[in-house]
Amino acid sequence: MTKPDITLFYAPMSRAVRPRWVMEEMGIPYTLERPDFTHGNVGGDAYKAINPLQKVPALKDGDTLMLESLAMMQYLTGKYGPTDLIVTPDEPDYARYLEWLHFGEATMCTAVNLILAHSTLLPEAQRNPALARWGKAEFLKHCELLEDRGLAKGREWLAGNCFTLADISIVYMLYLMKIVKQFDGVPDSVNAYFKRATALESWKRASAD
Ligand SMILES: N[C@@H](CCC(=O)N[C@@H](CS)C(=O)NCC(=O)O)C(=O)O
């Protein structure tokens, strides 16, 4: 196995928590680099060489530099596995694993970003309450889907009967909504799922600072 030489460009509470959570679960050693987290100008001009969009996370492994938190999770599990954090094509839950893995950034993220922007990030004069309400209504629909489809039949985790990247993808979005106090209306089963995931020791280390 290639030896990891990993630097994670990180900010607390950011999507960098996702790949960090994977590395904590897998026991992969890493170093954290913390660009100054000023919205719209993360890391200043110097950081543009790492990520021209000035977002976190970015991940460097030796000479390999990559962006996108979900892709990083797949990279880490693919390169430094085997690990139970993935569901493989020969397993019955492969399709639902992929579905929830991508749901976190492809679907949930659109609603969550709107809520964040129009309840917290934008200067007050630029916030649009109707957009924040629309985002919240969408987010609650996503949570219903989580309850009815994701956690149906007493499932503890979304796929493969164990904690996987799909859970990391989704729980991070729930975490953001928890931080900005938008958890009212979330079904009990989703609340319990969030508590279950964030009770893991690996979560505590990944979100510690
Ligand atoms: N789809 C990207 C999104 C990256 C992203 O939006 N990161 C946020 C933090 S969670 C950021 O750096 N925001 C700073 C800004 O927009 O100024 C990923 O999953 O890595």
User: Does position 166 have pLDDT exceeding 80, yes or no?
Assistant: yes
Peptide bond into 57 cis (omega under 30): yes
Q: Are residues 30 and 117 in the same domain?
A: no
Listed residue (153, 146, 155) closest to 190, CA to CA: 146
Q: Are residues 134 and 181 in the same domain?
A: yes
Q: Are residues 105 and 68 in the same domain?
A: no
Averaged over 162-183, what is the pLDDT? 97
Predicted pLDDT at 77: 98
Give the distance (Å) from ligand 1 centre to CA of residue 57. Answer: 7
Q: Name the band, by pLDDT with cuts 50, 70 and 90, for residue 4.
A: confident
Measured distance CA(191)–CA(187) in Å, rounded: 6
* Structural domain harbouring 45: 6-80
Q: Name the band, by pLDDT with cuts 50, 70 and 90, for residue 209.
A: confident
Q: Among the atoms of ligand 1, which is closest to the Cα of residue 14?
A: 10
Note the pLDDT tens digit of each residue in 65-89.
Answer: 999 999 999 999 999 999 999 999 9
What mean pLDDT, rounded, does the chain reach?
97
pTM, full prediction? 0.97
> Is the CB of residue 169 below 6 angstroms from any atom belonging to ligand 1?
no
Q: Among the atoms of ligand 1, which is closest to the Cα of residue 67?
A: 20
> Is the CB of residue 18 below 6 angstroms from any atom belonging to ligand 1?
no
> Would 87 be classed as within a structural domain?
no
Total number of domains constituting the chain: 2
Q: Are residues 168 and 65 in the same domain?
A: no
Predicted pLDDT at 1: 62
Averaged over 6-21, what is the pLDDT? 98
> Would 89 be classed as within a structural domain?
no
Q: Are residues 161 and 186 in the same domain?
A: yes
Among 24, 56, 80, identify where a domain stops: 80
> Is the CB of residue 56 below 6 angstroms from any atom belonging to ligand 1?
yes
CB atoms within 10 A of CB 112: 25
Q: Are residues 64 and 98 in the same domain?
A: no
Give the distance (Å) from ligand 1 centre to CA of residue 73. Answer: 15
Q: Name the band, by pLDDT with cuts 50, 70 and 90, for residue 97.
A: very high
Q: Name the band, by pLDDT with cuts 50, 70 and 90, for residue 24.
A: very high
Predicted pLDDT at 17: 98
> Would 23 be classed as within a structural domain?
yes
> Where residue 115 sits, what CATH number does that domain have?
1.20.1050.10
> Would 88 be classed as within a structural domain?
no
Listed residue (171, 177, 143, 172) closest to 157, CA to CA: 171
